[in-house]
């Protein structure tokens, strides 16, 4: 383990050990809200990752110039700027995605995942490590959203990424597409992740 380069470790921890959704339980609002379809989960994951990577890089570059007392307002300003850019870009180039994600795009600003990474990591580490950390966290977040989206879409409409998977004999569990389904499926998935984690730990 000691031989793994630091930067790779920073990247990899976001995928499983410190997966933002399944382990750290942050950024839950978009996780639950947009995952009635895998595609929307992917779009939200990518939008959040972009904002996270951009903000982390900028914050890390200027980490010595930003006074401690106003670091939180400064981070929020930087994040809000990038989120507005994402929002305008989506409205211009991908109006359908923009319409689907709707009010949840501006909420990326207050996603605790992004602000949390600035506070815990980017403001204290050199730029290349901050970028690697952001990339890993963003990817971990995106994978979690897509996974939850796939489960809900499969059970709720019998499709994955809009491709029909389950035959006509399958009666969709409509509840999976509604808010209660979102809470229930995420709760059960957390349980499963815990079991898998315990098995992995038991082996090693």
Partner 1 sequence: MKKGLKITLTLTLIAVLSGAILAEVYKVTVEDIKANQKKEIEEAVFSVLPGAKEYKRETRGSREFFKCFDDKAELRGIAFVAEGIGYQDIIKVVVGVDSGLSKITGIRVIAHNETPGLGAKISEGWFEEQFKGLSAAVRLDLVKGEPDKKNQIQAITGATISSQALVDIINKEIEDIKKHKVGNCD
Partner 2 sequence: MIKELILVFVAAVLVNNFVLKYFLGICPFLGVSDNLHSAVSMGFATTFVMSITAPVAWCIKHFVLDKLGLPFLEYVCFIIVIASLVQFVEMVIKKFYPALHQAMGIYLPLITTNCAILFMALQLVLREYSLLRSIVFGFGSGLGFTLAITIMAGIREEIEFCDVPRCLKGPGITLIIAGLLALIFVGLGGLIKVN
Contact set with partner 2 (CB under 8 A): 25-26, 28-30, 32-33, 72-73, 76-77, 80-81, 83-84, 87-88, 103, 106-107, 109-112, 115, 175, 178-184, 186-188, 190-192, 194-195, 198
Task: Using the minimum distance from each CB to partner 1, give the nearer residue, 89 or 191.
Answer: 89
Pick from 63, 65, 59, 60: nearest CA to 78: 59
For the range 154-161, what are the long-range contacts, defined as Cβ-Cβ under 8 Å and sequence gap of 24 or more? 155/185, 156/36, 156/181, 160/38, 161/38, 161/39
Q: What x-and-dash track marks residues 161-180 binding partner 1 by CB under 8 A?
A: -----------x-x--xx--
Q: Does 5 bind partner 1 (CB under 8 A)?
A: no
With beta carbons less than 8 A apart as the criterion, state whether 24 and 18 touch: yes
CA angle (26, 162, 190) in 5-degree steps? 30
The whole-angstrom separation of Cα 194 and Cα 46 is: 26
Q: Does 19 bind partner 1 (CB under 8 A)?
A: no
- Applying CB under 8 A, which residues contact partner 1? 36, 65-67, 69-70, 73-74, 77-78, 80-81, 84-85, 88-89, 91-93, 95, 156-157, 172, 174, 177-178
């Amino acid at each position: 383990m000691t031989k793994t380069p630091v930067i790779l470790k920073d990247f990899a921890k976001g995928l499983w050990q410190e997966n933002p959704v399944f382990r750290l339980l942050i950024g839950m609002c978009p996780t639950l809200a947009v995952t009635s379809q895998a595609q929307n989960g992917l779009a939200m994951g990518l939008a959040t990752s972009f904002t996270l990577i951009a903000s982390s890089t900028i914050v890390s570059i200027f980490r010595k110039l930003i006074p401690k007392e106003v670091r939180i307002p400064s981070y929020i300003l930087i994040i809000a700027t990038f989120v507005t850019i994402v929002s305008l870009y989506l409205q211009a180039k991908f109006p359908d995605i923009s319409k689907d994600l709707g009010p949840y795009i501006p909420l990326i600003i207050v996603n605790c995942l992004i602000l949390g990474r600035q506070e815990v990591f980017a403001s204290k580490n050199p730029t290349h490590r901050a970028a690697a950390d952001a990339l890993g966290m963003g990817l971990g977040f995106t994978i979690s959203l897509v996974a939850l989206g796939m489960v809900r879409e499969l059970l709720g409409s019998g499709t994955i990424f809009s491709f029909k998977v389950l035959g006509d004999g399958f009666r969709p569990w409509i509840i999976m597409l509604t808010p209660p389904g979102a809470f229930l499926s995420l709760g059960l998935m957390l349980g499963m992740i815990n079991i898998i984690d315990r098995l992995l730990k038991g082996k090693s």
